[in-house]
Structure formats: C-alpha cells, structure tokens
Structure 1
C-alpha cells in the first residue's frame, strides 16, 4: 500500500499542511517508525510526529485501530491528526510529552519519588487503561516506553518497575517467566501494592484482577512497607551443603567453602553477624539486582544452620582474590590480559552504578578470580544505594585506606559517598594491575591527602596510565564516570587486538577512516549500527559495522566476529576487508563485504514469486556450504536466522558472527549469556538457556527452520508474533511448521531431520550438503 493510499484511507482527525511544522527534531524510534518533535504553528504548541511505514493491509489495520478511538482522557496520549510531506511520507500528529517515556523519567527522577508519588503514577496509568477498557480497546503492547493501553500482566510488571526504579527482568529471560519466575519485591514496598502487582502478573490469566478492581485497590492503598516473606523463595536447606571448610574472614563474617548438592558445585557460605530482618532485606536487594552479571558475585540464596546462624550462599571463586592472583601469576600477564581484567572489573561496577549502587569498599581482596580468569566483584557489606537517605553507616572507617578517596580520609565522618568514590578506588586498582603489587607501601594516608600518588610503572601504555590518573584525581567532579572508563578500556583492548591481528594475519588491513565516502546508515547488527560507504582503497561499496559502547558485550562480540571471519574463506561467508578507526567519534568499524540485496527475509518478501525450486535448492546449498566451512573450522554460529543471511547478486552470504563459538577455545566466560531468536533456536535450549551446551547440532536445527522458510517465503511461526513465551512452549512440545504444498519430498525430509527434537539424531552439515546435491524435485503427492 502506498503512502498516498494510507493518507486517503485515514478519514478521521485533522489533516495538517506539512509546512505548518517547524524545528523538526528526531527524538526516537517506535514500533511503526521514527518519532520527531516539532512546533505546530496552527496549534501554537510542540507536538510529536510519528512516521508510518506500512507494507501490508494488516499493519495498516493495526494503526487504524490505535488512532480511531479518539478518547478524551488526561492519561491517554491525544491523537491530533495527520500530515504528509512533499515525498508523500505520512505522519500521525500526537500530543508531545516533554519528560519522555516512563523509563527515562524513572532514571532521572526516581530518587525524588516517595511512595505517595509512585502510587499516584500507578493510579494515572490505571485510570487511562480503565478508560480504554471501557471503550473496548486492548493494546497488548504495554511497557514503560508505551503507556497507551493495557494488558493486566504487563501492568503488574510496570508496578514492580515503579517500586524499583529499574527495568524488569534484567537477570531473567522470557523462558524463566514460563516457569513462573518473577522479580523479588523491593524493600520498603507497601504490602498492598506488592499484593496488587503479584495478583496482576499471576501466571493464570483468569486469576488476574480486572482494571476496575485495580483502580479501586489503588484508591484505598495503605503504605505500610513489606519485609516479611521476602526470603521465602530464597531460603535454602542447610542439609544441602556438605564438606564445609573455613577459607577466610571478612569484615562482616567468616567465609566457608561447601559443596551444594542441589546444583552439584562448590559455593561460598558467608556468615552474617548482623542478621536483623531489615539488614538482610537491604543486602538481598543489592545482590539481587546484579545476580546474573558475569563480573559480580552470583547470589544463590540464604540458609540457616542448626544454631540459627545465617549464611549468604554465593558463587565460589577457586583462584582466590586479586591480590593473591597477581602475586602468583603477574609474570604471565601481558597487557592484553591486564586490560581485559580492568575491563571486567569496570563492567561489574558499571552494572552496580546502573542500578544506583555504590560499592564503597573496592580493593584487591574484594575482587575474586574465577577459574577461567574472570574478575568478580564481591563483598557488599558496605555497599549502599546512591538513592538512600540512610547515613547510619557513613562513619564506618575503612581498613583499606589505600583505596579510599582522599576526601574521605581527610574527613570520614562528613564524607558523602557517591559513584565517584568507587571511581577513585578503581584508579588505584588499575595501578595495581599495572604493577602487580599492593598500592602505597611506601606512603601513608597523609601523603595521599596532600595529592601524592604512586608513580607509573615503566612500560604502561599511555592511555591506561592517563585513565587511572584521571580516575584518582582529588576533585570528584574531574574524575571520569564509569561509562567513559568502559569505553576507553574497550578501545584499548580493541587497539591491542588489531595490532596483533594485522601482525599475524594477511586477510585484513587497517583503513584510514577518511578514505570512506558517501557513508549512509543501512541497519543495525548484533553490536552496532551498519553503514554502507565507498572505499577508495578497494574501489567498491563496503559495509562498515560499528562498535556499540553502550552494550557491555559488544566488544567481545566484535572481536569474536573478527576472529571467526579471519579463520574461514568461502564465497558464502561474509568477506572481511579490515578495520578502521574514527578518531573524532572514538570508535572502531569493521570493514566488510556489502550485500546489494539486503537480508534473506527482505529478499524473500520481494522476490519469492520469481523463485523456482531449482533456485531455492541452490540457495539452500549456498547457505549449507557456508555452514560447512564454519563447522570445518570448529566454529558454531549460534545465531542463524533470516536477518543473518545476506544476498549479493543472488548469492547467499552468512554474516554476523558476534555470538559465534570456537569449539577449540575455553568458553566458560560467555556461557551465562542468552542467544539467538526463539523461532530459530534449538528447543532444547529454550527451557534452560544458561545450562544449554552449544554445538554444531544447534546450527543444524536453525538450518532446518531456514530451509522451511525458503520453501514458504515467509518467516517461521508468524502466528506467534510478539508472543515469545507461547512460541517457546509450542516448540518445546515438539511442534513445527507445516510443510508447504509443492515442496519436493527430498527437501522436506532434509529439513524434518534437521529440526528433529533429539540433537544427536540430526544429520551433520556434510550429510546435508551431500543430500542437497542429489535432491529430486518431485513434489510430495500428499500435499498436492
């Protein structure tokens, strides 16, 4: 449907002249297009303009349903009309909200919100939803960036977010919700509010309250805080722990190592001397926020022995603390390893600061080393929310003064802790990584207060030295924030990687960024934006794939992709030309082959009616050839889907190796991540993504789904669009897509074998390639 058809079909609302809008500025992207703000002269007010991209009748109908209910309610965004620019691009004109979406508002203002204000916000959201339900409108896309209409389950999740100030399910994925897992209540949440959102997100839809009941309960809400039953689901049986051995003492308790039978691994048990209920609530809240981060100690729960002594059950790190590790291994560490360690510690701090937690006690005894060499931040005994008004422990004098902000050392009883306190400690830790020894052995606290610091170690890279010198400056506001530190460390790591790559590898080169012309954004990949540009060095259009510093995994993905691509050479695997650096933007780009026909999904949408079965089989052969090349190099792709198959001159090209896995490497450090798109993922992976063991059979399943897509011309499991949990359950139960009428019998048999439920019964890629070479184009008579 053309934009002109769209403009004509919407027959309600005012139609504005496009020239009436001034000062148009992009402010975001939504489900249906780009969002702008602009000044509307006719109304003398700032409004929002939302572009509309429609390719089918269903999408248009979805829009019409959204805007035709022109309901007047102060808690529902107002639809003002429609306009069209000179290129016939259509926009809907909406009320402009000057404080952005709820997530932005909570990020900026959460520390200022008391419970009366949070309940008022909940009432206003519910009031708007009630109005929509009375008009028989259900949006089914309710989240903190889209408060427009309702689903009661989503409302429950939003209420929890109002209580916490952070996005929900940061440590959980959709598959955990299938099992009934939910977020833990936040300390201080009113009992009535907790009970209300727990009822709203009940796993049984029939047991959820309706919107009128929610509004009524909010009107009569009591604000008593909740502490009881916070640990019901976190309490672990003490009898589950065997072979308990004392391994150390901390400021807040004794530490033991024990074998935890439930998960069949060793854990750490930390006694809690101060175990009143409120203190435990604080401690659980702090650890719970970060429980799934690779560089923060994992929290399993709480247990109590027969003497009523309470223990926190934590991840066990068998390589000891950072001080011990550096004493034992410093001579083996090159600068790539030291900067990786600095990155990992910083990544953990970034996670803490992201949920407004200041650690306040960072030193080499509170950084543990896991058995794969990974840094893990521990000991939250002194940590505190930066939103808290409780100063009851701010006078605690730190035993490890060497890592403490000089302003604290000068006046510890009046010092105000904030995130920059941790930054100072991080600077000292970085120096320790460069030297291998504990800091300030020849200085005392008075020297540090006067501005003296350790001398840089000979051979330290200038960028690293400059970074830790900035971090341990006297003036708090002169120190970099954790995001800036992480970005600089990313670039240092990548710079070292590139130097090593170009030294030993002839398949890529370093490009001058200024040599690229006519740069144009064409999409987004797994870890950054993708552009096309003309390279004068290779005299062709290339793709530039940038590094997204906002994603903590993007650097590892970037490096993993380069490592994978440079190991293989195949016409059906994306060609790697090299790397370039934009010094002004302080970022790197991968320089890759450009595919002129986009991805497979787009190609099938545009060309499917022109493809005969000979062509489809050729496409299947080319994808399989690329996978064969990868598997021969012991690489598992792990993220095969129609967006990661590109088409150039009709030829299939596999791309996006950011999640790829080398079976020749120790990969323990990345097993906690969740991968791929549900509809292409092995059903064995879906119920337990963190325990799933990736191998070549994982790619074979994805290939089977892709083959069905080649036969049908449409994306798989469209009936479950935006319903990931239902789709997961459907696949786990063994359901698959129905074969398409006219599919050759041999081809149907190949993809049926490939997406079989038992991974060990799936054919390997060599077998698939052989079968494709001898395929007969006879159609299945049962489907005719």
Structure 2
C-alpha cells in the first residue's frame, strides 16, 4: 500500500487498496481522529460521507461514490472508487488539450453538477484537481468536504471556501448561491484549454482584484462556441451568469458549445470517450499489490461488511470491535 495524496493541514491521506472479493482497486481516504474532534472538521467529514452515500444510492456515474467507511483507533477511513488515471490537473501542465476532450470532460462535469444541484448541493471547490479520470475515459467530480447542503437555486450562503483561482467574485464577499459552481466550471474549461488559469497574481489580494475587475485574455484561435460559454460562465454578476436560475443546468446544456451532444447517451455512458488513459507509470499492477500492516478497527454499524470484503491493513474480522 502506498500514499497517493497527502494533506498535511488535516493529517489527511489517500491510499491505494484492493477489494478482496472482487479484486477491484479502491482509494482509501484516511483522516486522523484528533482532527475530527475539531467541530468544523467533523461537520465537513460527516457532510462528505452523507453526500457520498447519496451518490451511491442514486447511482450517479459522474460523481465519486462511497464503497464503505470504517473507523480504526486513530483514523476514520472512507473507501471510494479509485481513479486509474489520476486527476485532470496532471493534464494542465501542458497547454492545448484537444477541444474534443475538453468538451467531453466539461459535459461530464455538467452532469455531475446537475445531480448535485437537483439535490440542493453546492460543490464549492470544483477544479481540475477534483476531477478524476477513470480507465474507461470518463471523468467524475470528487471531494465533497466543503460542499454545502440545502442549496436551492436562490439559496444564499456565506463563509469563504474553495481554492482562490477558482473562486467567483461573490465568494470573496461572503454571500453567494450555488452559481459559484458554474463560475468554477468556466475557470476549469479555460485552464484545460490553455494550461493556465484565467485569473492569476502573486498575492491573494492581487488575485481577488483581478477576479473582481479584469476580464480573461482569450486565445486568438478560440472557437466562437467556446468563447461564448466561457464569457457566459465567467460573468462577474452572478445573476447574469450562465447556469444561474431554477433551470440553470438545462441552460448550460443548451449552450452552442455542446451542440450535437446526445445528453441521454452520455448519461448512460454510451458515448466513446475521445481519450482512453494508460496506467500511470508509478503504479504497480494490481496483482502485485500487497497490504500487510495490521491494525485494530472499530466499524460503523452500517459498514460492518467492509472489514470482511476489503483487503486493507486491518487484520481479520475477528480482530475488530463492534
């Protein structure tokens, strides 16, 4: 087993593991219990688990889902689908992702946001790093740790959150709606196309001023349809932004940028992705993966099966506490 993601501030790590019965590779997100004792962290973790369960129950194919969860003496562990090809941030280092791929990934993100918004959830941290690419060529939105529940199309919330380069102007002011997700989609599309974010600076204040007052510089060879969706997603006035309103997702799907796309076929994953990723070079073949370390685990009641079926460094089910 090895760590594939680390977040020192929260003592959060993501490990690669393997499901014993099916042989399926999984991602195991671990959070130290002493962090969860912090009320704010506990609320984020509990909310993320609630959203992950909803995704699993509703079988949304464009959001990462929870396979099981369990608690050891020192950690809370969330077991989720493993993305063989990593996240889209790895593809922004080199500019010029083909437009066909950008359009396909963007459409997948739209369907993911559609599910969240239909269930009154604002993601609040959409960015390439949180868009995972799977072996079948499809992408899914991940990381619901700072998502907000109870967000109807006109519900106003507050509290600063998210990653600065992807923040809508109103996020800095502290009162905003779920329309911030559509702004972040616009920033993400721009970055996938160009390899850079549309609003950048050397300090937080400078970035905020640029986001608030400046317009992006668009490539000279950008297509009219692409320019149209970016301009409309990156409207600084949230009321004028594409996606705002009760039927916002449908408005986005009607954009000329997606003209000719069969949304039903995409939702059923019947469209051939424009790119099928190869295994990341640093990864071991699944057959070579070994998990040996044993720890004593206390399982949550609704995930007792997790210990029996998960090839994870926890020993046998007879060692667990219930």
What is the aligned partner in structure 2 of residue 320 from structure 1? 86
Corresponding position: 1:348 with 2:112: yes
Distance 1:559 1:493, change over 3 A: farther
Cα drift, residue 396 of structure 1: 4.3
Corresponding position: 1:289 with 2:51: no
Distance 1:559 1:289, change over 3 A: closer
Q: Distance in 2 between matches of 1:463 and 1:326?
A: 21
Cα drift, residue 278 of structure 1: 6.1
1:260/1:267 contact within 8 Å kept: yes
Cα drift, residue 442 of structure 1: 5.0
Cα drift, residue 280 of structure 1: 4.9
What is the aligned partner in structure 1 of residue 190 from structure 2? 431
Corresponding position: 1:309 with 2:71: no
Distance 1:474 1:314, change over 3 A: same
What is the aligned partner in structure 2 of residue 246 from structure 1? 3
Q: Could you list the per-position Cα deviations for residues 431-459 of structure 1 after superposition, in whole angstroms to 9, with x for gaps in the alignment?
A: 11221334434573243344213211232
Q: Distance in 1 between matches of 2:101 and 2:210?
A: 29
Q: Distance in 2 between matches of 1:461 and 1:267?
A: 39
1:289/1:355 contact within 8 Å kept: no
1:406/1:474 contact within 8 Å kept: yes
Q: Could you list the per-position Cα deviations for residues 118-168 of structure 1 after superposition, in whole angstroms to 9, with x for gaps in the alignment?
A: xxxxxxxxxxxxxxxxxxxxxxxxxxxxxxxxxxxxxxxxxxxxxxxxxxx
Distance 1:433 1:308, change over 3 A: same
1:343/1:490 contact within 8 Å kept: no
Q: Specify the SS of the correspondent of 2:103.
A: helix
What is the aligned partner in structure 2 of residue 478 from structure 1? 240
Q: Specify the SS of the correspondent of 1:302.
A: strand
Corresponding position: 1:299 with 2:56: no
Q: How does 1:44-55 map to 2 (within 5 A)?
A: none
Q: Could you list the per-position Cα deviations for residues 179-206 of structure 1 after superposition, in whole angstroms to 9, with x for gaps in the alignment?
A: xxxxxxxxxxxxxxxxxxxxxxxxxxxx
Cα drift, residue 327 of structure 1: 2.8
Cα drift, residue 282 of structure 1: 2.6
Q: Distance in 2 between matches of 1:262 and 1:437?
A: 43
Corresponding position: 1:357 with 2:116: no
Q: Distance in 1 between matches of 2:91 and 2:135?
A: 11
Pairing partner for 1:406 from 145, 155, 169: 169
Q: Distance in 1 between matches of 2:169 and 2:144?
A: 21
Distance 1:557 1:283, change over 3 A: closer
TM-score relative to the length of structure 2? 0.69
Q: How does 1:173-572 map to 2 (within 5 A)?
A: 244-250=1-7, 252=10, 253-273=12-32, 274-275=35-36, 280-291=45-56, 292-305=59-72, 307-327=73-93, 333-387=97-151, 394-398=158-162, 400-409=163-172, 411=173, 415-442=174-201, 444-481=206-243, 482-488=249-255, 491-494=258-261, 552-554=263-265
Distance 1:255 1:559, change over 3 A: closer
1:356/1:385 contact within 8 Å kept: yes
2:191/2:197 contact within 8 Å kept: yes
Which has the greater radius of gyration? 1
2:107/2:258 contact within 8 Å kept: no
Distance 1:446 1:556, change over 3 A: closer
CA RMSD across the alignment = 3.3
Distance 1:383 1:460, change over 3 A: same
Cα drift, residue 429 of structure 1: 0.8
Q: Specify the SS of the correspondent of 2:128.
A: coil
Q: Specify the SS of the correspondent of 1:474.
A: coil
Structure 2: which 5+ runs fail to align? 244-248, 278-322
Aligned residues: 256
Q: Specify the SS of the correspondent of 1:268.
A: strand
Distance 1:438 1:258, change over 3 A: farther
Q: Could you list the per-position Cα deviations for residues 393-428 of structure 1 after superposition, in whole angstroms to 9, with x for gaps in the alignment?
A: 943444x2110011222x2xxx23422011111111
What is the aligned partner in structure 2 of residue 140 from structure 1? none
Q: Distance in 1 between matches of 2:64 and 2:266?
A: 22
What is the aligned partner in structure 2 of residue 717 from structure 1? none
Cα drift, residue 296 of structure 1: 0.7
Distance 1:269 1:416, change over 3 A: same
Q: Specify the SS of the correspondent of 1:317.
A: coil
Distance 1:489 1:360, change over 3 A: farther
Q: How does 1:77-88 map to 2 (within 5 A)?
A: none
Q: Distance in 2 between matches of 1:298 and 1:434?
A: 28
Cα drift, residue 491 of structure 1: 3.7
Q: Specify the SS of the correspondent of 1:267.
A: strand
Distance 1:559 1:265, change over 3 A: closer
Q: Distance in 2 between matches of 1:270 and 1:555?
A: 29
What is the aligned partner in structure 2 of residue 105 from structure 1? none
Q: Could you list the per-position Cα deviations for residues 490-544 of structure 1 after superposition, in whole angstroms to 9, with x for gaps in the alignment?
A: 74354xxxxxxxxxxxxxxxxxxxxxxxxxxxxxxxxxxxxxxxxxxxxxxxxxx
Q: Distance in 2 between matches of 1:370 and 1:363?
A: 16
